Structure 1
Amino acid sequence: MFQNQYETVFILTPVLSEIQIKEAVEKFKKTLTDTGAEIVHEEHWGLRKLTYTIQHKNTGYYELIQFQAAPTTVALLETEFKRDERVMRYLTTRLDKYALDYSQRRSKGLVGRKNVEPATAEKAEASNETKA
């Protein structure tokens, strides 16, 4: 079966306890694995301030899941999001080759860091040693 790479981000209501949040995330992960999807990477972004008010709330728990699945799986996952009252918003996107490369580098921690040349790092260490 044809598999695409997807990334879904969903926001859970902030009134949930940590246990309820974990249960909700596990429910959606189980929905994915039961339909034959493979979870590639997941990130728990935690409680964050919303840009605008959603359902009279200013914060929400963010979760990101990257997975490989057939296109029909996305429709089933989004149906589960719509049925669950704990989910305030969700967004699922199919990753093209550039987004896939970026997400792989981000999951390894290579995005957002400045590349320091080895010669520059050695000079900085040498200057710190002479000052001491």
Structure 2
Amino acid sequence: MNNYELMVIFTPVLSEEDYKAAQKKYASFVKDNGGEVLHENPWGLKSLAYSIQKKTTGLYWVLEYNAPSDFNEKLKIQILRDETVLRFMATKLDKYAVEYNAKKRSGVPTGTEKVGA
């Protein structure tokens, strides 16, 4: 099992219920295919750096999960079929990234915080 992080940008025209349903759909897809969801982080509505399909904003969502190595191809097919997804990116995390994410979630200083703003 490998550690991965999935970032999805959904279309901004989704209602709050549809946004949550889409999150639940992909989290369930991970679990149903032998994976384990470690952390979900809905970022909400953010501006895009450039327009995608004539949209300047998107609903961001980040999912950290463990899954077998062949799972990402199945996930990619599911996401590409979904018309509500503008962009997505799945990244394999090394042990340092996993450790960093765990520290960040628990509130332990990671050494990258700004001092004295």
Please say whether Structure 1 and Structure 2 have the same fold, judged by a TM-score greater than 0.5.
Answer: yes
Out of 3, 24, 27, which is 1:26 matched to?
24
Task: State how far apart, in whole Å, the 2-side matches of 1:97 and 1:6 are.
Answer: 11
SS at match of 1:36: coil
**2:11 is aligned with 1:16:** no
CA distance in 2, matches of 1:105, 1:78: 29
Paired residue secondary structure (2:83): coil
Q: What is the Cα deviation at residue 113 of structure 1?
A: 4.1
AA aligned to 2:57 is T
How far, CA to CA, are the matches of 1:74 and 1:42 in structure 2? 17
Alignment equivalent of 1:63, drawn from 49, 61, 64: 61
Question: How far did 1:103 drift?
Answer: 1.3
- Per-residue CA deviations over 1:56-109 (Å, capped at 9, x if unaligned) read 000000000000010111111111110000000000011011211211122223
Unaligned runs of 5+ in 2: none
* Structure 2 Cα separation of the partners of residues 88 and 114 of structure 1: 32
In structure 1, how many angstroms separate the alpha carbons of the residues matched to 2:60 and 2:100? Answer: 20
What are the residue-to-residue correspondences of 1:1-132 with 2, within 5 Å? 3-109=1-107, 110-111=109-110, 113=113
Taking structure 2 as the reference length, what is the TM-score of the superposition?
0.90
Q: Structure 1: which 5+ runs fail to align? A: 116-132
Name whichever structure is richer in strand by fraction.
2
Higher CA-based Rg: 1
Runs of 4+ with deviation above 3 angstroms: 109-115
Greater percentage in helix: 1
- Over the matched positions of the two proteins, sequence identity in percent amounts to 40
State the Cα distance separating 1:114 from its structure 2 match. 5.5
CA distance in 2, matches of 1:102, 1:47: 25
Mapped to 2, the partners of 1:94 and 1:67 lie a distance apart of: 10
CA RMSD of aligned residues (A): 1.6
